[in-house]
Structure 1
Amino acid sequence: MTSLRLNYVALTDVGLRRSTNQDSGYASSSLIAIADGMGGAAAGDLASATTMNIVRQVDTDLSDVDPLEALGHAVAAANTRLGQLVRDDPSVEGMGTTLEAMLWDGHRFATAHIGDSRAYLLRDGRLTQISIDHTFVQSLVDEGKLTPAEARVHPHRSLLLRVMLGRDDNDADLGWFDGKLGDRFLLCSDGLSDMVEDDVIAQALGAESIDIAATELVRLALEGGGADNVTVVIGEMVDASTLEEESDLACADGQPQLVGAAAEAPQPRRGAAVDVHDSTARFAVDPEELRYAPREPSRWRLARWIIAVVVLL
């Protein structure tokens, strides 16, 4: 039986319309992960960086631990830390992050997923989305009320139902996934999946090397409009007996790659100053702030939910 190892690459770009990168990505021979922060001025970069810098601590010797249990504990610890940051500084209330992580133990992957960052598998030339978006439109697709094509252009396609906010009521999906020789796994933020069609992603992901694939995927996202930060993390299952010199350049030195907000180490902040005479500061709304708004009292939330469903359907 062929022994497998994981080649990897991580690449990010701030995009064409944003001034800060709220995505975080990580890649190593054991762990590939991505977190897409949200909350606009409420510190989406802090949320994704905090989460990634905790989750990547599971990138260690797994011989004496259950990988899925270790990954689950790391996700829970990251969520707890987000809650602590909000309690320490209420000005960041509403910040949150998605998370997609795959932890390789030498035999299979332990996986964690929450939000709408995606995991794709390219196997034998066929691209499959192996994560399920935690979005409002995906729930309508699951109920047979929307087709996938309709969901892709729906005005509320970015509305998240589950995301890491530092609360106890949003659990990540945990599970196992088997990899085989030649598989390529792509983890990406919606800055790619919203900008580029799946068939184009498949073609780019099948490039000669994963380094070329990552560069091409980011280029395609920017060419498609670059409306958001774009981050891609690729893992490829290769024969462990192949020489290191044959590896992709990105992972040839064997060092993990950390990109985006987590690499820039944003710090917790308190009450960022706002000029009250600046009308744009007072009234402009960042679309990221609308992806997952803080919850209202339950009676109003239920009423607005009913109204929203009636209007949308």
Structure 2
Amino acid sequence: MPYITVTALSHTGLIRDHNEDSLVAGPWTLCGTVTENPQTLVFPLGRPLVVAVADGMGGQPAGEVASALVVRQLASSGPALDSEEAVRDALKVCNHAVYVAADRDPALVTMGTTVAGAVVLPESLLVFNVGDSRVLGASPDGLRQVSLDDSPPLPPGQRTTPIVTQALGGAPQFSAITPHVTSSPLAVGDRYLVCTDGLTDPVPEEAIDDLLRAHDGGRAAFELWKSAIEAGGPDNITLALIRIGE
């Protein structure tokens, strides 16, 4: 019987004083805490399974509150996310929920978060994002980005930017979002990496590709985290590796 493994890890990094990232895998959430070792969960392939990361916006209040709110909302709605339209609607609900929470507490005004992830269906994968957290597909042909960054165009020679053009929350007044959602066929052996920019900013895509070619599961998650730490660990690092097994 086909199954799904999700190997997840979340870490503060070396510079930040706390973790503003959160993660969801099915009904399981990890919010603003640290996993000392990669954790692997196994799910049957069948009903929709949502796997996502949310990166609380740095430089603004309560990023960890916004990211936790979003992944918990996705965990609750996950079993119903069976179409692109359902995913778009769920992300719009998340955006509204962030603003409602901020309106209730002056200390939370302008809190926001990015989100990126995938919903695993029996025969397809729904990839989604708002912001610059990413979903990457790993195959023998190489690594490919299947999410779409909400970032301004980069000048020649610049690989990253801290600026996002769209997020859940993050503004003094409500701002609507246009989530990126795409569908692709799913097959046994497929692997996807869902991660915050605490991994992709310090570690070049070529290095991530090399590590995913050499390792799988918990060892792959550990090596990816290690690479971000060796590159200075400038931000929170959260990742989830999805694999379709049989």
Q: Is 1:52 aligned to 2:71, yes or no? A: yes
Residue 191 of structure 1, aligned match among 188, 198, 202: 198
- Residue 180 (structure 1) shift: 2.3
1:259 match = none
Q: Which amino acid aligns with 2:220?
A: A
Could you list the runs of 4 or more consecutive aligned residues of structure 1 that deviate by over 6 angstroms after TM superposition? none
1:16 match = 14
Distance 1:151 1:180 in 2: 35
Distance 2:185 2:158 in 1: 29
1:209 match = 216
Secondary structure in 1 matching 2:168 = coil
Secondary structure in 2 matching 1:206 = helix
- Residue 73 (structure 1) shift: 2.8
- Residue 80 (structure 1) shift: 1.2
- Residue 230 (structure 1) shift: 0.3
- Residue 201 (structure 1) shift: 0.4
Higher strand share: 2
Report Cα offsets for 1:155-191 as digits up to 9, x if no partner: xx11111111173422211221222222210011111
Q: Is the 8 A contact 1:67 1:105 kept in 2?
A: no
2:185 match = 178
Distance 2:224 2:82 in 1: 33
Secondary structure in 1 matching 2:178 = coil
- Residue 19 (structure 1) shift: 1.3
- Count of aligned residue pairs for this structure pair: 222
2:57 match = 38
Distance 2:133 2:65 in 1: 17
Distance 2:158 2:60 in 1: 28
Distance 1:111 1:208 in 2: 23
Secondary structure in 2 matching 1:42 = coil
Secondary structure in 1 matching 2:159 = helix
Q: Is the 8 A contact 1:196 1:224 kept in 2?
A: yes
Q: Is the 8 A contact 2:195 2:239 kept in 1?
A: yes
Secondary structure in 1 matching 2:203 = coil
1:165 match = 169
Secondary structure in 2 matching 1:73 = helix
Q: Is the 8 A contact 1:58 1:70 kept in 2?
A: no
RMSD of aligned C-alpha atoms?
A: 1.9
- Residue 74 (structure 1) shift: 2.1
Distance 1:134 1:151 in 2: 16
1:220 match = 227
Mark the CA change 1:126 to 1:75 in structure 2 (over 3 Å): closer, same or farther. Answer: same
In structure 1, stretches of 5+ residues that fail to align are: 141-145, 240-313
Secondary structure in 1 matching 2:193 = strand
Distance 2:136 2:59 in 1: 27
1:291 match = none
Q: Is 1:135 aligned to 2:151, yes or no? A: yes
1:85 match = 101
Question: What's the TM-score, normalizing by structure 2?
Answer: 0.83
In structure 2, stretches of 5+ residues that fail to align are: 27-42, 44-48
Mark the CA change 1:27 to 1:205 in structure 2 (over 3 Å): closer, same or farther. Answer: farther
Identity of aligned residues (%): 30
- Residue 117 (structure 1) shift: 0.4
Q: Is the 8 A contact 1:114 1:164 kept in 2?
A: yes
Higher helix share: 1
